Every structure is written in C-alpha cells, then in structure tokens.
Amino acid sequence: MHFYTGNGFTSKTPTSTSATSDSIVCLTIGAYSKWLDTSPSGFLVLPSVIDILMSGMSASEDSAAAAALAFRHICDDCRKKLCGSLEGLFHVYHKAVNGESDYKISAEESLYLVEALSMVITELPLDHAKKALEALCLPVVSPLQVLSSVAKFLYRYVNHPEAVADAIQRLWPIFKPIFDHNKQSGLFQVRTSGRFMGTTIGVMLEEIQGLYPQHHQPCFLYLSSEVIKIFGSDQSCTNYLRSLIEALFTHTTHLLTTIQDFTARPDIADDCFLLASRCIRYCPHIFVPSAVFSSLVDCAMIGITIQHREACTSILTFLSDVLDLANSTLGKEYLSIRDNVIVPRGPSLTRILIASLTGALPSSRLEVITYTLLALTRAYGMKALEWARESISLLPSTAVTDLERSRFLQALSEAATGANISSLIVPVEELSDVCRRNRGVQEIVQGALKPLELNFVPVY
C-alpha cells in the first residue's frame, strides 16, 4: 500500500497485516481528500489512492466500510479532477453493487459509492451526465430500501435537473417501485427535475390518483401541491392537472364531511387546502371552473373551526385566496364563477367567521380570521356588511351591547370602502374579548351563532 508521509504519497509502503491497519489507512486517505484536491501532485497520486481503497474493500468488513467512506470523501473533494476517470470509478461501483467481486461492502455502505459518483456526475457536461446517470441506476439490483436510498442520493447530489429527468423518464420501471414504496421520492423527483420531467409527470400523476384513495396519505396531497407550483401554468399539462385535482379533491371532500372528520384527519385537511390555495394561485383556469370548486368551498366552511392550528390556517388562507381572486392577474376572469359559489353561502360563511372571532377558535387565530373577514368584506362590500349585521343581531344584549355591535359594524363598513386592516383589528379584539370574558358568555354567544349546526346546500 501507499502511505502519506508529509511530503506526499510514497510509491511503496509496507502491506498491512491486519484489518485494523487497513481501516486506518483508508480512513487516513479520506481525511486527506481536501489536500489531494489542492496539492499540485494530488492528481498524479489519485489512481494509486483509488487502488488502495479497492484493496481495502476486499480486505475485511471493517476496512471495506472505511474504504467506501473514504471513496465518498475523495469523490466529493476531488470531483473535478475525477471527471476524466469516470470509467474507472464506475468499474469500482459496478463490482460493489452487483456482487461480482470479493468486496466486503454491505448494501448500506455501497450507498457511499452512489453518493460519490453522484457528486462527480454533477461536474459533467449535460450529455455525458445523462449517460452516466443511466449507468448509475441500471446495475442496482438491491433490496427496495437500498434502491430508494440510491434514488434519494441521486436527487440530492446530481445538480443536473435535465439529466435527472431524462434518467427518470427512460428508467421509470426502476423508479416506479421506489415511488410506490417511498412517497417522498416523488417529491424529490419533482423538486430536482422540475419542468424537465416531460411525459413522466403524467405517469406520476396517474400513480398518485390510484394510490391516494387506497392509502389516504397526506403526502400525496403535498406532492401534488409541489406539482401545481411547478406545472400549474404549463398549458401542455392542463389535462393531467385537471384530472389530478378533480380526483384528489373529490375523494378528500368525501373524507371530510363533518368537523369530527377534520379533527380525526388534520394532516389531510392541512395539505388539502394548501393544495387548493396553490391551485387558486397557479392554475385558477383549471380549478375555479371545475366541478370540485364549490364542494371544496363547502368543505372548507365545515372545517373552519378545527382546533388544529396548521389545518385551520390552511383552510382560512384558502378562503382568503378565493375572496382575493380579483387581485390575481390569472384569476380576474373567473370572478363570476366565484361569486356564484360564494354569494349564496355568504351569510353562513360570515356567521362562521364571526363565531370563530368570538370563541369558536382560540384568540391566537384572530389575525388570520380577521383577514379572511376583511377579504370577504372587500369582495362583497355592502352585501358582506349586511351578512355581518344579520349574524351580530343574533347575539343577545346580555353578551354584547349595542355600542359594541355598532363599533364592529362601523369598522367593517370602513373596510368595505378600502380601509386598512389595522382599522379593523381593535374593534375585532374588543368584540372578541367581550364575548370571551367568561365561560358563560362564551357559551351564550356560540349557542346563538351555532357555527357547527349550519346546513350547506350545494348550489349549481
């Protein structure tokens, strides 16, 4: 073996006689990876260094583990120098993962080699990177868990979105079981490859539509929200995306039909309405005219009073996005569709929001509730003010005085004409405090507003 003395690597060193010394040699090489990259003579000794590590992989299980880790460090720090030696690096990799050698590397340790080659591939020109990625994926015949890890390292370390997308597209039979087994892999695929995914995105979305009804896992909704963020404005994906959101939202609204359903599945509620908000922002042309839009608004109204903070915030944010549609360049032409959905539901929606302000939700949610009420008032002006007046009139005088009602309605009236949200905060806080001043008053207020007993009749 070769050994570092301080002046460089000697051409000959004594052959190690124990597994411990083999491991120490390999670990020492890994520790000097940065020196090998910066040293003028580093490039000349790299072939010898790789030979030492290959010997270490064969010596014992301990030295094989040390050699694989050192190989990863060398490829990380010397990646630019090793671009011209990719054939030799792949020779080491193929021998390790195919089990056709005396290497004593475990399946988990072989992932160091995947990391190593992924880092070198990042430095290649695009065409070469595509071929290298295929060579990296094809020989993997490891258990599915290891296969998933291989894919994860590929997404994490190969900074070639087009090359990764090309590999996924051509090797989908390999990637599909990874996706079925580990749903996060789809998220990595989308984030790594982005718009380069091409036709593979359609295949992946079909998988999501098939798997979500079987497993009811919120990760499918979150993955879909990432897809919408990237492909929502891509006209070539319109049919794929329409099919996706209609399938996901139809199934989810059947899962969430009562507040108890929301409480039992807060993660699904959270990710569902995150997805819905992204549909409003990135593809209103698909979402708002769809059959699922009105049913999702009804679903949101049922779930507003969920106590789960993230789910509640996602629901209120979605409703705010719907009400702020006029502020969106993409959404302005769909205002009439929105109005046909919101106006018949306006009195109930206003009543639920006021109930939320006055005790149905914790006071820590006042800001997001207030903004939603402000968005409703700005969108519908005097109509919204009348809806609020109807709701406030339900509160008995033992709970709220005429003066307190008047201040609240006056603030809403000013908001309808464009006043800043800050002018609404103080009257809202006053009303909230008055209605929460003790448990008895809070029960009277909620008993009058009955936010959980409102019936929602679909309007077509």
pLDDT at residue 450 above 70?
A: yes
Span 204-230, average pLDDT: 84
pLDDT tens for 353-394 read 999 999 999 999 999 999 999 999 999 999 999 999 999 999
* Strand, coil or helix: 289: coil
pLDDT recorded at residue 81:
86
Span 84-90, average pLDDT: 82
* Strand, coil or helix: 18: coil
Span 201-222, average pLDDT: 81
Give CA torsion, residues 378, 379, 385, 391, to 10 deg. -120
In sequence order, the β-bridge partners of residue 9 are 4
Question: Residue 188 CB: number of other CB atoms within 10 A?
Answer: 21
242 falls in which pLDDT band (50, 70, 90)?
A: very high
pLDDT tens for 395-444 read 998 899 999 999 999 988 888 777 677 777 888 899 999 999 999 988 99
156 falls in which pLDDT band (50, 70, 90)?
A: low
pLDDT at residue 168 above 90?
A: no
Helix H or strand E encompassing 404: helix 402-416
* The two three-digit tokens of residue 139, written as one number: 């020989």
CA distance linking residue 191 with residue 156, whole number of Å: 10
13 falls in which pLDDT band (50, 70, 90)?
A: very low
Span 73-78, average pLDDT: 89
| 4 phi, psi to nearest 5 deg | -80, 125
CA distance linking residue 252 with residue 67, whole number of Å: 50
Matching residue, tokens 């042309």: 285
| 384 phi, psi to nearest 5 deg | -65, -35
pLDDT recorded at residue 179:
57
In sequence order, the β-bridge partners of residue 4 are 9
Question: What percent of the chain lies above the pLDDT cut of 70?
Answer: 78
Mean pLDDT (the chain) is: 81
Q: Which of 115-124, 193-202, 282-291, 384-393 has the lowest mean pLDDT?
A: 193-202
pLDDT at residue 28 above 70?
A: yes
Nearest in space to 16 (alpha carbons), one of 26, 5, 30, 6? 26
5 falls in which pLDDT band (50, 70, 90)?
A: very low
